[in-house]
Amino acid sequence: MFKLSPHMSGQAAKEMFTGGTFEIRPFEARRETLFEEMGRVMLREFETPDRISRFYAESVGHVVGGHILRMHSETRSLLKPLNGLTTTQLHVLRRFIDERIEAGFSVIELANIVGLRPQRFAQRLRVATGLSPWRFVQAHRISRARNMLRNQRTPIVEISNSLGFASQSHFTNAFRDNLGVTPNAYRKMLS
């Protein structure tokens, strides 16, 4: 169960709506595919609880908050028009991720890099790439891994560590989820 604080709801509403007020309507519990898919992804992530990142938890919170506001709120204002991130902003994001991939970072830090608040950042990133912040970072990590796997001498555990994965098994699972093969099998296909 997620708890969406009034402060977080208010921040998300400021970013999504052009002023006015909002109120979350009571709603019947029902199946929502977004929550079901998030649950499946989270279960996979929690299988390797060595280091569940703050970044991952924040990403989930922002997605849930935005969804609840879009689908279950009464608002006296209009949704703000939405453009995607620019090519320059995406380049700045990728460079920031590369520089901090081992140490980690938060959704707030990513949003600040491009001068946006977290909810607006997530929306504009999705418009530009079709990906949530977490999926965007994960795709970037897997892309870097693919390049690093070309060097047959670099141990897979070293690649895993340099890309900020909690463990080699966490890396292997993420790689397989994205490409359908393990890093080792991918490396063999390259030779």
The gap between the terminal CA atoms of the chain, to the nearest Å, is 46
Residue 182: partners with Cβ closer than 8 Å, 6 or more residues away: 172, 175, 176
Q: Does 191 fall in a domain?
A: no
Q: Which residue range(s) make up the domain with 95?
A: 6-139
Give the model confidence (pLDDT) of 19-59 as tens digits. Answer: 555 566 666 666 667 667 766 766 666 665 554 466 666 66
Name the DSSP class of 24. Answer: E
β-partners of residue 48 are: none
In a domain, 165, yes or no: no
Query: When comparing pLDDT for 14 and 1, which is higher?
Result: 14
Task: List the Cα angle 40/15/59 in 5-degree steps.
Answer: 25
In a domain, 75, yes or no: yes
Residue of 130, 6, 121, 132 lying closest to 60 (CA atoms): 132
Higher pLDDT among residues 60 and 135, named by residue: 135
pTM over 0.85: no
Q: What's the pLDDT band for 191 if we cut at 50, 70, 90?
A: confident
What's the CATH code of the domain at 61?
Answer: 1.10.10
Residue-wise pLDDT for 92-133, tens only, equals 999 999 999 988 889 999 999 999 988 889 889 999 999 989
* Structural domain count of the chain: 1
Q: What is the CA radius of gyration of the chain?
A: 18
